[in-house]
Structure 1
Amino acid sequence: MLSVGALRAHLVAARLAGRVTTSREVSLRSYRLFAARDPRQTLGLDPDGEWGVSELLRLMADRCGVSADPAETSGQDMIDPDCTVAALDAFAERLGRAAHERVPVLLGTGHPHRLLGFYASLASALSAAGCVVLTPAYAPGVDMPTQFGVRRHNLRYVGGVAVVRPAEAAGPDPGSDGEDGQGVHTHSPLPVRAALAGAAEHGGVLPGLVVGDHGFICGAGQLGIEAIGLGDSDDPAVFVAEAEGRISVAVPLDDTVRSDYYRPLTRYVLNRAWLSQ
């Protein structure tokens, strides 16, 4: 079993925490956009509080370990590895409880080219423990804004994990190497809304827990469904949602490193949740 010390060392060495690849400029811009209620940063959350830039900076310093100094405006951002470890422990505890209670679970990611393997391993372990891993309604035709305007996407499942693909993408369902094969990067809450609507419309089971990132967890939390997941230092919506009780656990870490760097986290979480296979 990976020790806490070994996990912490890996987080820093892989730049999942410590000095991360996300720049301070990018994080501060995200805070400004969230404060202005830009939907690219609210991720489907309709926050109760005012959440100006100063409040967001204090929150992110507390939850992630970023610098609370507004005069620090450049360089690489910081995530406190101790915050990450503590949140991973809470994340694992919630997963273990879901497995014990055999709660129906929906998993989804807006970072399939980085995090698909992490979530797929969780889906497999939860399924083996007796949880129903939901894959409701493929829901073709999710119209999502992109840098090229509104484009139609399809909702698909890979290893029990919801991802989206451009509707015009040719070939088999996602699962091959490469971002297009696995799905596309998105912050949108529309995919989780489509999945939940599909389940409701067809009389299916609704999840007792949603696991994921970005719009998947913020969108679910906004609808009153318990959610847990991951957030980077430039994802203030995830941590605002946690602070306001919409998300149960938000794990701070860099979500853009190599996919194999998340494997030790997977082993740690599954061991802590008593879900190792």
Structure 2
Amino acid sequence: MPTPTGPTDSADRVGLRAHLLAVRLAGIVATTREESLRSYRLFAARDPRLLIGLDPERAWSQRELIELMADRCGVSADPRQVSGHDVIDPERTLAALDACAERLAVAARRGVPVLLGTGHPHRLLGFYAALADALSAAGCDVLTPARGRSVDITTRFGLRTHRLDYVRGVALVRGADPERPGGEPGAHTHSPLPVRTALAGAAEAGGPLPGLVIGDHGWACGAGQLGFEAVALADVNDPAPFVGEAEGCLSVVVPLDDGARSDHYAPLIRYVLNRACLSQ
């Protein structure tokens, strides 16, 4: 895992840590303890809405999930704490960002094809798009398979047909309803079906297949479950990516609030690309 090597690196790290706390990407975050515990309970019951494409190797109890999330994210390990806002340790976020940068650097050196996708396009599209631009400039093929293909996703309103699309090299799905004027494109989803559709489309077209998948929710878990190397961003109420990391399906999971304003992720982009030596 990369570590700071000089005064500039140390200053960048200190500055980013302060930013994470100031905008609540880490530290005390918007996600409540009640939300997190409900998610852990549903994951333990193997509810597909929380598995998001992962098929865990073993059963996980809610108590074990609390312990895992305390280790990976820094939330309270006390199961008796059942209310208030959850906490993410910024040092764990920084360490995971360093590991993410290392994976990007390896992918760039090897020139592997990459696939990027998000279920949070209104929040995280800019983050992934910056990574796509940098990896493309470094010689990696940024894949866009199965563009326009229909994906039927179960939502709280029932089964809805979505369409797979790409914006600045980042995969997302669009719903049937018109987008909000002035809003970033795409629908919010945790489903693994979009990444399965994209990977199937790549295979049907004769490749190439990705050597690295970067995303969140079902994009990362669905790809990791199929044996593709995957790097993810995840909030503390999404245990699946962290279980996938613990079981070896995902390479790196960065704990942070994934529902903040999109501009709050800009310093993370600069930090990761600098650490990966991919800044332009």
- Which TM-score band applies after superposition, normalised by the shorter structure? over 0.9
- How far apart, CA to CA, are the structure 2 residues paired with 1:80 and 1:120? 26
Which of 69, 74, 93 pairs up with 1:60?
69
Alpha-carbon deviation of 1:118?
A: 0.2
List aligned pairs for 1:66-105, cutoff 5 A: 66-105=75-114
CA-to-aligned-CA distance 1:211-254 (integer Å, 9 cap, x gap): 00000000000000000010100010010000000000000000
Which of 192, 196, 212 pairs up with 1:193?
196
Q: 1:55 is matched by which residue type in structure 2?
A: E
Runs of 4+ more than 2 Å apart? 168-171
Does residue 247 in structure 1 map to residue 250 in structure 2? yes
Matched with 2:156 is 147
- How far apart, CA to CA, are the structure 2 residues paired with 1:3 and 1:138? 38
Matched with 1:208 is 211
CA-to-aligned-CA distance 1:23-63 (integer Å, 9 cap, x gap): 11000000001001111100100000211101100000000
Alpha-carbon deviation of 1:140?
A: 2.1
Q: Secondary structure at the match of 2:115?
A: strand
How many residues are treated as equivalent by the alignment?
271
**Structure 2 gap ranges (5+):** 1-7
- How far apart, CA to CA, are the structure 1 residues paired with 2:178 and 2:73? 40
CA-to-aligned-CA distance 1:48-84 (integer Å, 9 cap, x gap): 0211101100000000000001110111100000000
List aligned pairs for 1:228-267, cutoff 5 A: 228-267=231-270
Does residue 133 in structure 1 map to residue 124 in structure 2? no
List aligned pairs for 1:114-133, cutoff 5 A: 114-133=123-142
Root-mean-square deviation (CA), in Å? 1.3
- How far apart, CA to CA, are the structure 2 residues paired with 1:72 and 1:170? 42
Q: 2:267 is matched by which residue type in structure 1?
A: P
Alpha-carbon deviation of 1:202?
A: 1.4
Alpha-carbon deviation of 1:177?
A: 3.3
- How far apart, CA to CA, are the structure 1 residues paired with 2:198 and 2:78? 40
TM (normalized to structure 1)?
A: 0.96
**Structure 1 gap ranges (5+):** none
Identical aligned pairs, as a percentage?
68
Alpha-carbon deviation of 1:170?
A: 4.6
TM (normalized to structure 2)?
A: 0.95
Q: 2:237 is matched by which residue type in structure 1?
A: D
- How far apart, CA to CA, are the structure 1 residues paired with 2:200 and 2:89? 37
Q: Secondary structure at the match of 1:135?
A: coil
8 Å contact from structure 1 (residues 139, 194) kept in 2: no
Matched with 1:226 is 229
- How far apart, CA to CA, are the structure 1 residues paired with 2:26 and 2:61? 25
8 Å contact from structure 1 (residues 139, 198) kept in 2: no
